[in-house]
Chains A and B, each alone.
Chain A
Amino acid sequence: MKTYLLPSIKLTVILLVILGGIYPLAIAGVGTFSPGHGDGETISYKGHVVGYANIGQKFTKDEYFWSRPSAVDYHADGSGGSNKGPSNPDYLKDVKAKIDTFLKHNPGVTRAQIPAELVIASGSGLDPDLSPSSAKVQVARIARTRGISAEKINSIIDADTEKPLLGMFGPAKVNVLRLNVALGELKK
């Protein structure tokens, strides 16, 4: 046993120093040159930090683009999805209620126009994005509440839409926080 135990312990010690200590410190060093300096990239509005670029936040007022529903209510000191299965009756009831809420706040929008992602929760509970069609379906409501023309709001969506990677791979999306910051700047 001693033939293996002593080398095992020593090898563990030296690898702990290299893998647990030196390696992440080196990455932290390189990370200071990244956008956000390794602390996470933030977005500011009127001189205040209003959120993290990659972390979704709760928008429930009619004057903002709404984010997707979240199982953790956008509390980013945790994360997670609903973990509801597709056949769960309680879950389906919950989705129906969310559709009704959406219809109430968005008169004029028909059922068939609602993209499902707006009434079902994301995996992380912190999804920062919407697909462009989910943003556009909210334009009429925001235009009415803010008294801005729908045309102007649509142009913000188009400007903020991120195309698929290299134009070829993956879905197009738009960041909800950036959209809402752009809305605020539009008013000025």
Chain B
Amino acid sequence: MNTEISGVIFTYLLTLAIAIPLGIYIARMFGGQETWLDFMAPVERFIFRFSGIDTRKEMNWKQHMLALLTINSVWLFYAFFCLLYQAHLPLNPDGNPNQTPDLAFNTAISFVVNCNLQDYSGESGATYFTQHFVIMFLQFVSAATGIAALFVLFKAFRDKVTDKLGNFWDFFVKSITRILLPLSVVMAIILAFNGTPTSYKAKDTFITLQGDTAHVSRGPAAAMIAIKHLGTNGGGWFGANSAHPLENPNYLTNTVELVAQTIIPIALVFALGFYLKKKKFAYVMFSVMTIGMLMLLIPTMNAEINGSPAIARMGISQPTGSMEGKEVRFGPANTAYWNIITTVISTGSVNSMHDSAMPVPGFMMMMAMMTNCFYGGCGVGILNFYIFIIIAVFISGLMVGRTPEFFGRKIEAREMKIASIIALLHPFIILVGTAISSYVLVHMPNADWAVKPSAWLNNPSFHGFSEMLYQYTSSAANNGSGFEGLGDNNIFWNVSAGFVLLFGRFLPIIGPVAIAGILANKKFIPESAGTLKSDTSTFGIMVFAVILIVAALSFFPALALGPIAEHFSLK
């Protein structure tokens, strides 16, 4: 057990050791300073010339958002039609069928919004063409969209009183050529040399040692598994995601995949400090995020290492803890760490089946997605966190009787309205979605869908409720992991989760950028003795309290019906 815990600590420290220099690099790169990846400049110039883009044209926040929404709509249409007709497209050696319209709708949205919820299994539900030209492509560009939106926000903070917030295409393309693509190449090669397939060959058939006939699905997976983690996407090549032994062959690749999904979100926090020259503020932010993550992690690890009380009652031993849905090569401590990392960050890749986790980890994973800002996804984590900062500034301003200000700009009614709507949107779409699905389950059990509501749940009672709650939480947080027992490939889940995904993605991007854009236009008030300091631990505690009250408590009743009730029924 000790080597398991030391493995977790090592993984986290390795993450920091890479993320901090990466943050400095990102700040330098977007700050226009020299970096060692400047040799990519000709490639970028070619891309811009081909696309007819002049990157010197600066945009205001509305133009940024228009560009972002336009290109995202293009991807949505493109992805939907490719998936709908994938059987007729090239690179389909296993002869997999087209996706149904509702499944293609869900899948296209899910990958455009960086969620990667998968209501299909990669082995049979996608082709090599759609895996690469739809899914992997979207994994790159959706992550780059998040980073680009974040840099609009950074730019608005840095430059005093301005309408010119840089060029969206410039931020977007450089996020790919200077951050995501180079890191993906390195990581894909590491995976390839540890046993993840890279060739385009179809599935293989052989006779096992015992004499059975066996088939093995393969395919050029390594390239996709790299960006799936670096871009905090999470959508797997194989159905079992990173629990699959070809997708995650050993403890080393598991460490690499864990580090990869965490480095960019953490690096962006440090990049904020260096880019805005507000290092102390970044440290406060990092501390709040880390404490939040640890509060979720420690109970999770404890529960998984101790194993299941129901199994213990059968009289067998659990030397390696709770192992249902887990792999021997990772062990429960590391799996618990993965469970929390993949949910605090919006990756949603899994190296175990979350549906079979103990109730306390189930609670913690849902809570991680409900707060959705302890590190958070590529770019969007800080955007979410920013909303809580604005609310904290406003509340603490009222408490001490001062005009709320943040980075030298007054926070007024308009900004607060936007921030409140965004903060309340998340619980609203999750809880309303779960309420509707529960209603349908009870009152229309035999509705004529691909999976009848009476057959949706793989588990009875409290755990069954958790399966539905988890699905909408994961969709709204753009996470993509699931309690996979849920029978979700039917028109109800594909469509309802599809809409939750859309709301959960674009409003939380537009809201913070709008606030930043409006603030950037306001008069700059230099810091004085009367200014509320935002880089102190007091302010950090204040932000933490706001997250706890706004995000966590609004979900408490729903959680009480799901994992909390299950926990006490197991005792």
Chain A residues within CB distance 8 Å of chain B: 1, 4-12, 14-16, 18-21, 23-24, 26-28, 30-32, 34-42, 45, 48-61, 64, 68, 74-89, 91-92, 95-96, 99, 111-117, 119-131, 133-134, 164-165, 168-173, 177, 180-181, 184
Contact = CB atoms under 8 A, between A and B. Distances in A.
Contacts of B137: 15-16, 19-20
Nearest to A48: B207
Nearest to A169: B7
Contact of B4 (A45, A88, A129, A170): A170
Interface string B459-471: 1111100100000
A133 B319 contact: yes
Contacts of B239: 78-80
A124 B176 contact: no
Interface in B201-240: 201, 203-204, 206-210, 212, 214-218, 220, 222-224, 238-240
Interface string B123-136: 11000000011001
B255 A169 contact: yes
Contacts of B207: 48, 50
Contact of A82 (B206, B209, B255, B324): B324
B318 interface: yes
A63 B324 CA distance: 26
Given A27-B220, A50-B207, A122-B326, A112 B316 contact: yes
A171 B328 contact: yes
B310 A170 contact: no
B74 A8 contact: yes
Interface residues of B, number: 117
B324 A55 contact: no
A121 B310 CA distance: 15
A30 to B, nearest CB: 5
Contacts of A18: 47, 181
Given A48-B207, A84-B459, A169-B6, 5 more contacts: A58-B210, A88-B463, A92-B314, A164-B251, A173-B329
Contacts of A83: 325, 353, 355-356, 458-459, 483-485
Nearest to B201: A39
Interface stretch (B189-197, B285-293, B366-374, B473-481): B189-197
B71 A11 contact: yes
Interface of B: 3-4, 6-7, 10-11, 47, 50-53, 66-67, 70-71, 74-75, 78, 121, 123-124, 132-133, 136-137, 140-141, 169, 173, 176, 181, 184-185, 188-189, 192-193, 195, 197-201, 203-204, 206-210, 212, 214-218, 220, 222-224, 238-240, 243-246, 249-252, 254-255, 307-308, 310-311, 314-320, 322-331, 334, 350-353, 355-359, 458-463, 466, 483-485, 566, 569-570
Contact of A170 (B51, B244, B330): B330
A123 B311 contact: no
A113 B47 CA distance: 63
B136 A6 contact: no
B214 A57 contact: yes
B323 A116 contact: yes
Contacts of A5: 70, 74
